[in-house]
Every structure is written in C-alpha cells, then in structure tokens.
Amino acid sequence: MIGMNPSMDDRRILAEMERHLARDDPELVSLMDALNDQFSHNQDDADGRDDDAARHSRRRKAAVVLIIALAALILTAIVTSPLPTTRPDRRRASLWPHPSIRGVGTPVRGTLPVGGPHRPQEMVMNGSVRMGRLLGVPLRLHWTVPLLVVLFGYSLGSRTLPAGVPDQSNAAYTVAGLAGALLLLGSLLAHEAAHAIAARRKGIPVQSITLWALGGMTEMGKPRAAGAAFLVAVSGPLASLAVGGAALGAGVGLDALSGWEVPAAVLVWLGWVNCVLAMFNLLPAAPLDGGRVVQALMWWRTGDRDRAERAAARSGQVLGMLLIAVGWISVLYGVWSGLWLAVIGFFVLIVANAERQHARMAPALRGVRAADAMSSPVEACQDWLTVERCIADVVVRTRHTVLPLIDFDGRPSGLLNLARLARVPAQQRETLRVRDVATPLPQNATCAPDDLLEDVLEKLSSGIGIRILVIDGQRLVGIITARDISRIVQRHALRGTESR
C-alpha cells in the first residue's frame, strides 16, 4: 500500500503513484506511456476535426447571410419597382421559386396601388437598362440580374456540383457554376421568346422583354380571343420542357461519350431545373402560366372574360398565401431557401390582388367614351407665361396636378406638372417660360372625344400616369386623370348595388 498524506492534492498523488509503479513494474510504465502518446495523437486529430467543422460552420453562416442579403435586395427591388398596372394580359413574367430554380413566363396583370386606380402602362422597371434586341423586340436587363447570376453560380458551384461530381478543383466548380447560371438565364430568354413568337403569330404586338429579380417579363398587347390567350400562355412551359429535355439528353450523352463529368452535370442540372419549373408554372393559379391556361379555357367555355379573370386571380391569392406560409415555416425549421419561396409568394399575392381589382374595374370602363369620362371645361395656361405669373394667375384655380398649355393660336402645346413647376428655383421664376419646364404635346397621351376609354388606356406609354388630353380637331376640350377613372368605377359600383 502506498503511503500518502491525505492533504496532498491530486497532482502530487498521481506523481507519487507513478514513482512507485516505475520502481515496482517498469513494463506497466512503458505501456502507460504508449497509451498517453496515442491519446495525445487522437486528441490532436479531434481538435483538427473540430477546427474544420468550425470553419465549415462559419462558411455556411456566411453563405446564409449572403442569401438573406440578396433576397432582401431582390425584395426591395420588387417593392420599389413599378408593378404591373391595369392593362389586362399585358405582360408575362417568369418566376424564380428557389435560389437554384427559375420559373417560366407567366402573364402578369395590372396593379392598382392603394389610393385609387393608376393608369395602365407598359412595364419599364426602375433600374433596367436596354441591352439590345431579341427577335426584333427590345431586351432590357434589371440591376438585380447580376445578383441572381452570383447567387445561382455560388449555389451550383459550391454545393450542387461538389456533391454530384466530387474531387474536382475549385476553379472547375467556379467556372461551371457561372456557366450554369448564364445558361439558366439563356433558357429564360428562350421561354420569353416563345411567348413573344406565339403572340406575334396571333397578331398581338410585343413591346419588350425584361429580365429582372424574379425571372423574365414580356410586354405585349392583350389577346382578343380565348384561343390566342391559351396559345400564348402554354408556349412558355412548352419551350421550357423542350429546353429541359434537350439539356438532359445532352448531359447524359456527353457523360457517356466523353466522360466530361462537370459539363455533363451542369447540363443535367439545367435540364432538371427547366422541367421542374415548367411543371411549377403550370399550377392553375394566376399569374403563373397554368392560371392563364385555366383562365383561357374558362373564357372559351363561358364567354365571360371578367369571370375567368376573377377566378384565376382568386386562385393566385390562395397560392401566394400558401407559398408565404410554407416559406416562413421552412425558415423556422432552418431551411433558408424557404425565404426565397416566401418572396415568390409575396410577389404572386400582390399581382393576384391587382388582377382581381382589374377584373372588377374592367366592366365599368367597357363601352365608355373619352367624352363621358373627361373633366370639362379644363383650366389651361398660355405657354408663353413666366413661371411666376403662371403660379399667381392660373395654378391657384386648377383642380388637377397637371396643367395643359396652349399656344398663341389656342392649340394645345404641352402638359405642365405642378410638382415639377414647384421645383423651379425662385430666382428663375421671373424669366423662365412655362413651356420650358412642360412636357411637349407629342410626348403626352391624347385622344378624340369619341374614342373608347378602354382603347385609350391600352395605348398609354409608361412614365406619365393617367393624364390624357382630349382634343377635338385642334381644340382642347377636356382632360382625363386617375380621379376621373375612379369616379367612373364608383358610379358603376353604385349602379350594381342598386340593381341587387
């Protein structure tokens, strides 16, 4: 028995025991030394693994932060960009339901922002730049597209490809991820081009194609028949299925014939994404293509376009709320891609609400002439007056936020925005003429008194709001603004209430 003082601490007790063992049994001491060395190596390996896990966790957290930041930027772009307005069947937008999946072209109807109806207009987003022409159609690129390329390229190069094709260089993954993201945008353009081609074959004018935060958008006139609406709606998903099938076949063939695993994996991924998104956008809810297909079929069966629009819009509202709910529940369970799904649901819900409002407003405008909607007589200002005199003598009497101008012969010459007039510096108001701060007549919307209001709204250009000068010959007889449109809708609603 080893004699030890009870007051000795643990370290001294262990040291005393080792000295006694070394004297009594040298072999046991050698075995213990070997075990200590092994334990030390194992501990070093465990520490190394912990360090690797910590680094991986930090990288994953950084990626999550990046995705959240990009989603926030994209959501900001959606909120701050002008949404589709009241023009029916005016545009088809492709949606991105997942960071690695893009949606296919879907018609997006007009939005009536809170506070009254805004004019129907072509969608020219803030921050989009014209990049050329595609099939003779102007092609525009929104500032969020480079962010999407980075996001898709990172997701493909850092997660999807390493999991499917391991043991490749980081450079190969990076280049392949970027190439895959660009090919995905190319397939989106193919989808939008299919919508444009189908529309042109049915005599529907196509104004532009825009790539933006949630995919693509094709500006076009509204179909005049249910058959044309069906063809335009279904052409996008069919194009995506064709691209998906071709990419899948090319990827499988490339892998079998050449053994180029990384390019083959990119093509297979591209094909799978296009096929999944074609099916996603065939869901029977506006503004997805499936909602447009159902809307066209209901329109053809019942002959009531407004009823078909309301039904498709209601289904879009339900789908939007479901996507938002599923997205946030996924985020709560740690699936961060659910944030993207919630963004998509938010957009779908906004557009569906707008379409439902449009479907309610369209019957009120149908058959109404410009003369029935305009405000008349209208206050006008001579275009040679100075800003100071215009403010003192004319602006105080006007009832609108814009003021028509007339020349020496009494003919309309332009339209003056009062907000722009107020921004003229005080020192310039005595010498500056109002025509120098007004919008010239050719850049404004005009119509004749007997023109149908629905057709006039259809032809409006973007960026000027509902400000339509009604001209009879060369004489200004009235003006139509958003307030006039709102008054017509309210009267129609009152008549509907009285008839029930």
Q: What are the structural domain ranges in the chain?
A: 63-365, 370-499
Q: Given a cut of 50, is residue 499 above it in pLDDT?
A: no
Local structure of 91: helix, strand or coil: strand
Which band of pLDDT confidence, cut at 50, 70 and 90, is reported for residue 80? very low
How many angstroms separate the CA atoms of 233 and 222, rounded?
Answer: 12
Question: Residue 206 corresponds to which amino acid?
Answer: V
Percent of the chain with pLDDT over 70: 73
For the cut 60, the answer to whether the pLDDT of residue 457 exceeds it is yes
Q: What is the CATH number of domain 370-499?
A: 3.10.580.10
Q: How confident is the model at residue 152 (pLDDT cuts 50, 70, 90)?
A: confident
Percent of the chain with pLDDT strictly greater than 90: 29
Confidence of residue 413 (pLDDT cuts 50, 70, 90): very high
pLDDT in tens, 380-406: 999 999 999 999 888 888 888 889 999
Q: Which residues are catalytic?
A: 192
Quick one: CA torsion of 317, 65, 98, 172, rounded to 10 degrees? 170
Strands 381-382 and 402-406: parallel
Structure tokens at 324: 């938002």
